Amino acid sequence: MPYLKQTEIKSYREKHKPSRCPILGGYTADWVLDHDHKTGMVRGVISRSGNAFIGKIENFLYTRCRQQYKNFPRILRAAADYLEKEQTDILHPVGLKQLVNRWATSLTSDEQSDVLKDMGATEDELKYAKRNAPRRKDLYRSLLKKKYES
């Protein structure tokens, strides 16, 4: 079995880099040579972000879950199946907080006002929250909760 010298990594990486990251599917100019931390064998060339993603999952699996290496692909497939299954219609309290924070940081104040209006905010509520981001956020939270409580 061949050994890849440190001085040969760059040329190997250039010769074997894919057009898109096989893990994340995106385009990049930042390729790395990925290897299996258990066997030391080269797996392929992937994006730096894809490498970090796989590395974090692998490290967690081996250090926290104490799983055997052979279970890694099966666990990833099971995780994908779990993530793709149909969700409930129940909003989690932390999920509410995450939705509200994402809404507050991803939209302009005018866009937020439009969303609030579409959600049924009254003219008085909109007027009260117009120039105050925390008030808009509170109003969005209450309207979202009302939507899921009904």
Cα dihedral sign for 91, 147, 145, 136?
A: positive
Nearest CA to 122 among 104, 139, 99, 103? 139
Average pLDDT over residues 6-32: 96
pLDDT band at 65 (very low <50, low <70, confident <90, very high): confident
Give the tokens for residue 101: 């924070």
What mean pLDDT comes out for the span 114-134? 93
How many percent of the chain have pLDDT more than 70? 97
Instruction: Inform me whether the pLDDT recorded for 150 exceeds 90.
Output: no
Look at residue 67 in the predicted model and tell me its pLDDT: 64
User: Two tokens at 80?
Assistant: 């994908």
**CATH for 6-84?**
3.40.1800
pLDDT band at 49 (very low <50, low <70, confident <90, very high): very high
Q: Which residue has the tokens 């409930």?
A: 88
> How far is residue 95's CA from residue 28's CA, in Å, rounded to a whole number?
32
Domain locations in the chain as residue ranges: 6-84, 93-149
Residue-level pLDDT at 69: 65
Calculate the average pLDDT of the chain.
Answer: 92
Alpha helices in the chain (DSSP H): 9-16, 48-63, 72-84, 93-106, 109-118, 123-129, 133-149
Report whether 126 contacts 117 (CB < 8 A).
yes
Q: What is the pTM of this model?
A: 0.69
Return the percent helix, strand and coil in the chain, to nearest 5. Answer: 60, 5, 30
Least confident of 18-27, 42-51, 67-76, 118-127: 67-76
pLDDT of residue 37: 81
